[in-house]
């Protein structure tokens, strides 16, 4: 039995859905994308030409919910379905779109470039806790026009895992969709076994921006999975109450699903978000706040009553260092996300309100994820009797004898998660002998080990050539002749 955390009663969920339908009509949804407005108008929705506000009837939401797939998979490079969106499956991936990286030596937050993304990819690739990679940081060493597609290019070259990504413009989302097709060999191949999913954000409150809605439409038409990341901020860009915020989140997701399914019924889309409270002292959006985890758990519960696949942003911290605050916020929030049965939990590795990434934090967070996954593995019944069968003639009121039992040898790996060297269970003497390191110090060592053991996956040279040629073409269109040199990949 997978343990579950639920915060809402059925009655409250029914009220959330009811008021979300009301919000879709009044005040309605502001739709800043002309094509989306045209689709709405064609579907009989009243769209105010002055304000661009669409009044979306519940019937249209019901229709969209009928055509939405209730589950789908992301595939790794070898074509294995490794990420399951649907039910109570739980996966984690590193947070996306960081703009700085924690320098483990100077502790400065350095502006991110190509080498930093590759560092994060190498580490995450070798940690089984991460079922997917992400386009983790922006590479500021390439022109802005190609920053979106370039991140995806680097991940495709350095990883075999599925990818959580996203685009910042309507132009680049199409380029990235095309890149996936080119890499897979055809648009059909990319659609049949999707490698990547794209985060798409509405703007709170109740706005689908030009590029948000445009991205949804492009992804739906291409059949590439989209992940709606609604970001209500309680008390600033959403009602101060959790229930008010979750209701707004529901309305924003409903509107997104309608736009998406109007563009192409049956395309895969996920009920996701990065809800947070608004800190009333600092004006910040704390990702590590317990209320943020409660919002996410709540909206996931709403999604599950509709049988929608789910996503959220947890496992991150607002701390600037990989310190005690980072550990407790990331660990607790990852645990809440897992107990909420959320299909994809993004955010690991991230500090400073999702602005800063850290490879060292990725390896610490991997331990938190292991704990969370162990927790949802639940307490299992392995044996016919619970305890009496263990007490055979060899156990004579003596400790230690259980070590001699075959069952112990057979079952301890299933019962106990074995942490990596990042978790300290040494004696004080051994700990001192190993350098008296704290978790961050041990994480630095582990990162260095992983960087040393990394081998770039073997990818079909023809695919690599197509991918590189495509990227180079985009680069030239951006007015640049060369891309940064890569340590592990030298194009012919």
Partner 1 sequence: MSEELYKQMAQCIIDGDSDISVELAKKSIELKMHPLETITKGFVVGVNYIGDQFGLGEAFLPELVMAGEAMKAAIAVLEPELLKLGETRQMLGRVVLATVEGDIHEIGKTLVGTMLSASGFEVVDLGVDQPADKIIGKALEINADIIGMSALLTTTMVRQREVIEELDKEGLRPRIKVMVGGAPITRDWVTKIKADGYSEDAIGAVKIAKELMGKAD
Interface residues toward partner 1, by CB under 8 A: 99, 111, 138, 140, 144, 147, 168, 203, 209, 233, 235-237, 278, 280-283, 353, 355
Of residues 140 and 417, the one with the C-beta less far from partner 1: 140
Residue among 97 and 310 whose Cβ is closer to partner 1: 97
Residue number with CB closer to partner 1 (189 or 355): 355
Closer Cβ to partner 1, 172 or 181, answer by number: 172
User: Under a CB-based contact definition with an 8 Å cutoff, are residues 101 and 357 in contact?
Assistant: yes
Compute the least distance from the CB of residue 108 to partner 1, in Å: 11
Q: Are 92 and 128 in contact (CB under 8 A)?
A: no
In angstroms, give the least distance from the CB of 330 to partner 1.
Answer: 20
Q: In angstroms, give the least distance from the CB of 41 to partner 1.
A: 24
CA distances from 26 to 22, 235, 388, 414, 426 (A): 6, 20, 64, 53, 60
At closest approach, how far in Å is the CB of 283 from partner 1? 6
Where residue 54 falls (left for φ over 0; alpha for ψ -120 to 50; beta otherwise) is beta
By beta-carbon proximity to partner 1, the closer residue of 56 and 354 is 354
* Cβ contact 156:467 at 8 Å: yes
DSSP secondary structure code for residue 167 in this structure:
-
Give the residue with the Cβ less far from partner 1, 282 or 476. 282
Minimum distance, C-beta of residue 358 to partner 1, in the bound complex (Å)? 17
Query: Apex CA 321: angle with CA 316 and CA 323, to 5°?
Result: 85
Sole residue written with tokens 């022109």: 143
CA distances for 220 relative to 143, 260, 273, 446, angstroms = 28, 6, 18, 40
Closest CA to 342 of 4, 11, 96, 13: 4
CB of 276: closest distance to partner 1 in angstroms?
A: 12
Residues in the chain: 492
Residue 168 CB, nearest distance to partner 1 (Å)?
7
Question: Residue 147 or 261: which CB sits closer to partner 1?
Answer: 147
């Amino acid at each position: 039995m997978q343990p579950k955390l639920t915060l809402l009663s059925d009655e409250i969920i029914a009220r959330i859905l009811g008021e979300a339908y009301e919000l879709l009509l009044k005040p309605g949804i502001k739709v800043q994308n002309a094509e989306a407005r045209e689709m709405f108008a064609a579907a009989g929705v009243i769209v105010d030409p002055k304000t661009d506000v669409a009044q979306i009837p519940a019937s249209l939401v019901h229709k969209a919910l009928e055509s939405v797939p209730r589950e789908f998979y992301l595939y790794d490079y070898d074509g294995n379905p490794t990420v399951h969106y649907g039910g109570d499956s739980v996966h984690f991936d590193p947070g996306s779109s960081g703009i700085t990286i924690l320098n483990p030596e100077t502790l400065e937050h350095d502006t991110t470039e190509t080498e930093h993304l590759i560092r994060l990819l190498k580490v995450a690739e070798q940690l089984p806790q991460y079922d997917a990679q992400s386009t983790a940081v922006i590479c500021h060493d390439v022109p802005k026009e190609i920053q979106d597609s370039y991140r995806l290019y680097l991940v495709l070259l350095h990883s075999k895992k599925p990818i959580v990504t996203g685009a910042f413009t309507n132009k680049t989302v199409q380029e990235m969709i095309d890149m996936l097709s080119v890499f897979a060999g055809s648009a059909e191949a990319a659609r049949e076994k999707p490698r990547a999913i794209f985060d798409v954000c509405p703007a709170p409150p109740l706005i689908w921006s030009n590029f948000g809605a445009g991205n949804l439409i492009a992804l739906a038409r291409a059949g590439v999975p989209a992940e709606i990341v609604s970001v209500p901020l309680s008390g600033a860009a959403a009602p101060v109450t959790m229930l008010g915020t979750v209701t707004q989140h529901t309305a924003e997701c409903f509107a997104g699903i309608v736009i998406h399914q109007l563009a192409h019924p049956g395309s895969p889309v996920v009920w996701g978000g990065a809800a947070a409270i608004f800190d009333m002292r600092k004006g910040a959006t704390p990702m590590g706040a317990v209320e943020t985890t409660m919002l996410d758990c709540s909206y996931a519960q709403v999604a599950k009553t509709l049988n929608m696949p789910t996503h959220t942003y947890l496992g991150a911290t607002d701390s600037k260092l990989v310190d005690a605050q980072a550990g407790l916020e990331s660990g607790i929030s990852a645990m809440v996300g897992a107990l909420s049965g959320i299909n994809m939990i993004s955010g690991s590795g991230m500090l400073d309100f999702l602005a800063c990434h850290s490879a060292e934090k990725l390896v610490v967070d991997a331990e938190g994820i292991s704990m969370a996954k162990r927790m949802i593995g639940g307490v299992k019944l392995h044996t016919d009797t619970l305890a009496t069968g263990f007490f055979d003639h060899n156990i004579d009121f003596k400790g230690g004898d259980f070590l001699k039992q075959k069952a112990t040898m057979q079952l301890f790996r299933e019962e106990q998660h074995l942490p990596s060297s990042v978790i300290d269970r040494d004696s004080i003497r051994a700990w001192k002998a190993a350098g008296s390191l704290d978790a961050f110090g041990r994480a630095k060592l582990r990162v260095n080990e992983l960087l040393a053991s990394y081998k770039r996956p073997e990818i079909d040279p023809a695919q690599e050539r197509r991918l590189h040629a495509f990227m180079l073409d985009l680069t030239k269109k951006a007015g640049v002749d060369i891309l940064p040199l890569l340590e592990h990949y030298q194009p012919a």
